[in-house]
Amino acid sequence: MSKYQRIVILSGAGLSAESGLATFRDTDGIWKQYDYRDVATPEGFQRNPHLVYEFYNARRKSATQAHPNEAHRALAQLEKSYPGEVLIVTQNVDNLHEQAGSSNLIHMHGDMQTMVCTNCDAVLPWTKDLSDDLTCPECELTGGLRPHVVWFGEMPFEMNRIADALSKCDLFVSIGTSGNVYPAAGFVAAAKHVGAHTVELNLEPSCGASHFCECHHGRATEIVPAFVQHLVSGQPFEQCQAA
Ligand code: OAD
């Protein structure tokens, strides 16, 4: 029998970094270029919708051109081959997990390939640019479309399902996230509370590194496949990393 039956994996921008998508808080990060209050809050959208549309249109374009990397692929393989349950909760708004083949997935911060109509609440797939002169295909009103992403001050999606999974997990793995943003930054504490083993896989120690039972630091494309192999084979992580 496998050591863990219910695995919850939290992923962040560091997982997609080697696919060419910028992180937020690294030296070349998105929040070094933009003030999050201007582009990732409801107030910013009200003040200057054009800037917000431009910001997400550019990010959607980069994400559409990006491909999943070895780390995304290893996690998809884990879901397919692991005898226990594997749930990925991602803070990323790209769709590289899906492209790699993961299906048990929650986009807690939404998804740039979807838009929501603020007039009728319709949520629809959307891969083109968004602007304020577009008409909602459901209610036919113009001007109410926005990216279906969670902004600061808004509630992340599917929190009940995430809380339920955390309350039952026996392994929690956090990958490529700096641990700055709650509620995701608090998931490690929730998992520890129910006795789960907790692991951080990140380029460098995150803000919450001291809360994890086990930490491995390095590039996601190296340490994630090694950790997946360690889970599947039962071999020590170091041996899998050297392989
Ligand atoms: P951050 O930019 O805060 O953190 C990314 C983390 O990934 C950092 O700790 C990096 O060291 C690490 N990293 C960078 N390159 C890596 C690599 N190749 N391999 C492994 N790790 C690497 O991004 P998040 O923690 O995802 O929210 O940010 C969380 C939320 O803050 C985002 O979802 C977004 C942002 O504001 C909203 O916009 C609401």
Paired strand residues for 160: none
Instruction: Average the pLDDT over 140-166 and give the result.
Output: 97
Mutate to test the pocket of ligand 1, among 11, 21, 25, 69 (most ligand atoms within 8 A of CB): 25
Find where tokens 């929730």 sit.
190
pLDDT at 2: 79
Please give the single-letter amino acid code of residue 70.
E
- What is the crossing angle of helices 70-81 and 220-233, to 10°? 20
Q: Is residue 45 very low, low, confident or very high in pLDDT (cuts 50, 70, 90)?
A: very high
Is the bond into 225 cis (omega within 30 degrees of 0)?
no
pLDDT at 1: 65
Whether 66 shows a pLDDT value over 90: the answer reads yes
Whether 243 shows a pLDDT value over 80: the answer reads no
Question: With 0-12 CB in 10 A as exposed, 13-18 as middle and 19+ as buried, what is 224?
Answer: buried
Positive/negative CA dihedral, 190, 23, 97, 160: positive
Whether 132 shows a pLDDT value over 90: the answer reads yes
Helical ranges in the chain per DSSP H: 13-17, 30-33, 36-39, 42-47, 49-65, 70-81, 96-100, 159-168, 187-193, 220-233, 237-242
Task: Determine which one of 72, 97, 107, 109 is catalytic.
Answer: 109
Q: Which of 64, 37, 65, 67 is nearest to 52 (CA)?
A: 37
Find where tokens 């001050």 sit.
153
pLDDT at 123: 97
Instruction: Average the pLDDT over 212-235 and give the result.
Output: 97
Measured between alpha carbons, how far is residue 120 from residues 56, 60, 101, 116, 138 in Å? 21, 23, 32, 8, 8
193 is catalytic: no
What are the structure tokens assigned to 105, written together?
Answer: 């997935």
For ligand 1, residues with CB inside 6 Å are: 12-14, 17-18, 23-26, 29, 36, 40, 91, 109, 150-152, 176-178, 180-181, 202-204, 206, 219-220
Residue nearest to atom 29 of ligand 1 (CA): 181
Model pLDDT for residues 75-108, shown as the tens digit of each residue: 999 999 999 999 999 999 999 999 999 999 999 9
pLDDT at 192: 98
